[in-house]
Amino acid sequence: MKTGASIWKTLRTLLGDLPEVECRWHEPLASYTTFRVGGPAFCLARPQTTDALVRLVELVRSCQVPHFVLGGGSNLLLPDEEVKAVVIQLEQCASDISVAATGDDGKAWLAVGAGVRLARLQRYCLQHRFGGLEFLVGIPGTVGGAAFMNAGTGAGSMADALLWVDLLDGENRRQRLPQTTLSPSYRSLGLPDESVILGCGLAATVCAPDRQRASLSRLLRERKRTQPWQMPSAGCVFKNPAGHAAGALIEKAGLKGFRIGDAEVSTKHANWIINRGRARSKDVVALIEHVEACVRQHYGIRLEREIRIVER
């Protein structure tokens, strides 16, 4: 394999020759993340079919270059400089929602592509009177990203509704893994990091629209009341340590409103860092490290990051 600059030059030619893959070279990524932070990517690749995705993943793996899937960009912090990686979006090749099966008991199995936005899934459920997934309301991102990190709230998590997950494994093999074969935990579905989720099956129930809308409204009001929705952010920065709430620890350490540059610990929820307008990735990283040091100093607790930080 070629090394250094030569591999990127060769890779550009190889990617450009792939059928059914849209390549955007040096595409600025800030607008693709909820933090509104990030430099350009070497290549933003958008496969149009599952077969095209498989060919793309096989290529970047064979070239041994960094790559990752970018969903809704809601749990992600990208560097300010160019991201030397192939960034893959699934919104074109994994965007279907269908009813895989229904039962006489009012239950249904939904087959949902990994590139489907969670907000779109909620609209589909409302339109077809499917309940059971209301806990996802207000969470930005895609089904694939939510499944991989077992996203959720106090009202439930992806593992609670998951029936199966379809993926490409590290050997580029397509697999369907039943939920019973997985080992989900807090903010993890237990999948290897190299897995590329294609879609998943989710359990739902037929319900009355009025009751469903009331549940969605209640959950949404609570999220807006307790979280700084109006500002760019990446959601919760840290996982909750056992027996503690990360936000409470940060607040008790006196860090609400603490700023580095335009990155600020939210005054509404201390486990959120917000972008006040011109925050840079280095500001956010410095603030995360400061919060970690203060909590460790005050309470002897090491916070574990929930947010994914991509290195240059």
pLDDT, tens only, 112-159: 999 999 999 999 999 999 999 999 998 889 999 999 999 988 788 999
Rounded Cα distance between 135 and 216, Å, is 8
The candidate with the shortest Cα–Cα distance to 127, out of 119, 116, 117, is: 119
Extended strands (E) in 173-232: 174-178, 196-206
Percentages helix, strand, coil for the chain (3-state, rounded to 5) are 30, 30, 40
Those residues whose C-beta lies under 8 Å from the C-beta of residue 54, and which sit 6 or more positions away, are 168, 172, 174
Indicate if the pLDDT at residue 218 is higher than 70: yes
Question: Each residue of 28-74: pLDDT tens digit?
Answer: 999 999 999 999 999 999 999 999 999 999 999 999 999 999 999 99
**Model confidence pLDDT, tens digit, residues 5-15:** 788 999 999 99
The predicted model gives 177-206 an average pLDDT of: 95
CA distances (Å), origin 83, targets 58, 66, 87, 212, 279:
20, 9, 9, 42, 18
Active site amino acids: 187, 236, 306
Q: How much is the average pLDDT of 179-200?
A: 94
Mean pLDDT over all residues of the chain? 94
